[in-house]
C-alpha cells in the first residue's frame, strides 16, 4: 500500500506543478487573479490520479495522461466555482468562495474560463484516439450539468424518489469519476472490453462514494470529517438517508420531523438536539443500515468489474484507489 500511496503523491505533485504554473497572463486582473486563486487552492486531485492509473491499467504511460489529468481537475474546479454561486456557499476548502471574495460575475467568468483551459490541456494529449477522448470528456460535462440541474430541481420538490436520487448522483458525482477512468483507459489505448470494465468500476465507486458522503454527514466525527455533523439536514438537502427515511418512517411524530426537513422548515445549525433526534430516527428505521448495504453493493460491483482486468500492479493501483476513496474520513 505504501508504494501506491507514494505513486499517488508523485502524480499529485506533477498535477499541482502544472496547475500552479498554468496561468501566465496578468491582465485583466479580475479574470486571472481568481483563476490563480482557484488553481492554487489545493485539493486531493482524485480525478487526475484516476486518469493516470487508468491509463497505466490499459498499458499506457502515466505521463501520457498528465495533461488530461490537469484538464479534468480544471473541469472539476469549474463545477465547484459555479456550484458555490448556486448554493450561495461562503467557503471552499477553508477559504472564501470565489463569488464571496470577488462577486458572482467574476465567479461565473472564472468558471467559464476554466472550461476553456481544460480543453486546451486536454488537446495536448498525444493519442490516436483523441476523438474518443474529447467526446468522452464533453459528454462528462453535459451530464454533470444535468446532474446539478436535477439537484437544484429536487430542492423544491417534496416527492423525490430513491430512483430519481440515484439517477441524479450518477450524473453529478459518479460521472466525473467515470469520465476520468475512461479517458485514462483510452489514452492507454485499452481494448473496448477493458474500457467498459474501467467505466463500470468507476461509475459504481462514484455511487458508493456519494452515498457514503451522505452517511458520513450524520455519523462521522466532526474533527476527522472536517464538516459540522448534520450539515445536510440543516440545508434540507435531499440525501439517500433523508429520502429513505421518508419511505420507511411510520410513526406520525417521527414522520413530521422528517417532513419538516423536506419542507425546509426545521433544523437550525445550532439545534444539535434535533440533529441527534433525526440520527436516532435513521437508526430506528434501519436507514443507516440500508445506506451501508448500498455502499457495500456498489463497491462490490466495482470490484467485480476490476476483477475482469489483467492481474498485476496496475490493477492493484485501481483497487488501492477504491479502498482509499471508500476508507476516507474526509
CA–CA separation, 141 and 75 (whole Å): 8
Range picked from 129-138, 154-163, 306-315 for highest mean pLDDT: 129-138
Burial 189-220 (b: 16+ CB within 10 A, else e): bbeeebbebbbbbbbbbbbbbbbbbbbbbbbb
User: CB burial class (10 A; 0-12, 13-18, 19+) of residue 158?
Assistant: exposed
pLDDT level of residue 265 (50, 70, 90 thresholds): low
Predicted pLDDT at 227 = 65
Residue 242 has what pLDDT? 95
pLDDT for 25 equals 93
Euclidean distance between CA atoms 184 and 57, whole angstroms: 9
pTM of the predicted protein model? 0.93
Instruction: Give the model confidence (pLDDT) of 114-148 as tens digits.
Output: 999 999 999 999 999 999 999 999 999 999 999 99
126: cell is 498525444
Region 194-212: what's the mean pLDDT? 97
In tens, the pLDDT along 214-261 reads 999 998 776 665 567 788 888 888 999 999 999 999 999 999 889 888
pLDDT attached to residue 89: 87
Tell me what pLDDT residue 311 has. Answer: 86
Note whether 245 and 283 are within 8 A (CB): no
Has residue 329 got a pLDDT over 60? no
What pLDDT is recorded for position 330? 37
Which residues does residue 91 pair with via DSSP β-bridges, in sequence order? 96
pLDDT at site 269: 77
Percent pLDDT > 70 in the chain is 96
The mean pLDDT value of the chain amounts to: 93
pLDDT on residue 310: 87
Q: Nearest-5° angle of CA 16, CA 19, CA 23?
A: 150
What pLDDT is stored for residue 226 in this prediction?
Answer: 58
Amino acid at each position: 500500500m505504501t508504494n501506491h500511496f507514494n505513486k499517488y503523491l508523485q502524480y499529485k505533485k506533477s498535477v499541482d506543478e502544472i496547475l500552479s504554473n498554468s496561468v501566465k497572463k496578468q491582465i485583466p486582473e479580475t479574470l486571472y487573479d481568481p483563476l490563480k486563486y482557484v488553481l492554487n487552492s489545493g485539493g486531493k486531485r482524485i480525478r487526475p490520479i484516476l486518469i493516470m492509473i487508468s491509463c497505466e491499467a490499459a498499458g499506457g504511460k502515466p505521463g501520457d495522461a498528465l495533461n488530461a489529468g490537469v484538464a479534468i481537475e480544471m473541469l472539476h474546479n469549474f463545477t465547484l466555482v459555479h456550484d458555490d454561486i448556486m448554493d450561495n456557499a461562503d467557503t471552499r476548502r477553508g477559504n472564501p468562495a470565489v463569488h464571496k471574495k470577488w462577486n458572482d460575475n467574476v465567479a461565473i467568468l472564472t468558471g467559464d474560463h476554466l472550461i476553456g483551459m481544460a480543453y486546451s490541456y486536454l488537446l495536448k494529449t498525444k493519442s490516436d484516439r483523441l476523438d474518443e477522448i474529447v467526446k468522452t470528456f464533453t459528454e462528462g460535462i453535459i451530464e454533470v450539468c444535468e446532474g446539478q440541474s436535477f439537484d437544484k430541481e429536487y430542492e423544491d420538490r417534496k416527492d423525490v424518489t430513491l430512483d430519481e436520487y440515484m439517477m441524479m448522483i450518477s450524473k453529478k458525482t459518479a460521472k466525473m469519476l467515470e469520465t476520468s477512468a475512461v479517458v485514462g483507459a483510452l489514452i492507454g489505448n485499452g481494448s473496448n472490453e477493458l474500457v467498459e470494465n474501467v467505466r463500470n468500476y468507476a461509475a459504481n465507486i462514484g455511487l458508493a462514494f456519494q452515498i457514503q458522503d451522505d452517511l458520513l454527514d450524520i455519523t462521522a466525527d466532526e474533527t476527522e470529517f472536517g464538516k459540522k455533523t448534520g450539515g445536510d439536514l440543516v440545508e434540507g438537502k435531499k440525501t439517500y438517508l433523508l429520502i429513505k427515511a421518508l419511505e420507511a418512517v411510520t410513526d406520525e411524530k417521527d414522520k413530521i420531523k422528517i417532513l419538516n426537513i423536506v419542507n425546509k422548515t426545521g433544523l437550525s445549525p445550532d439545534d444539535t438536539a434535533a440533529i441527534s433526534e433525526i440520527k436516532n430516527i435513521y437508526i430506528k428505521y434501519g436507514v443507516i443500515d440500508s445506506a451501508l448495504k448500498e455502499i457495500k453493493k456498489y463497491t462490490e460491483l466495482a470490484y467485480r468489474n476490476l476483477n475482469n482486468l489483467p492481474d498485476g500492479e496496475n490493477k492493484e493501483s485501481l483497487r488501492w484507489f477504491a479502498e482509499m476513496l471508500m476508507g476516507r474520513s474526509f
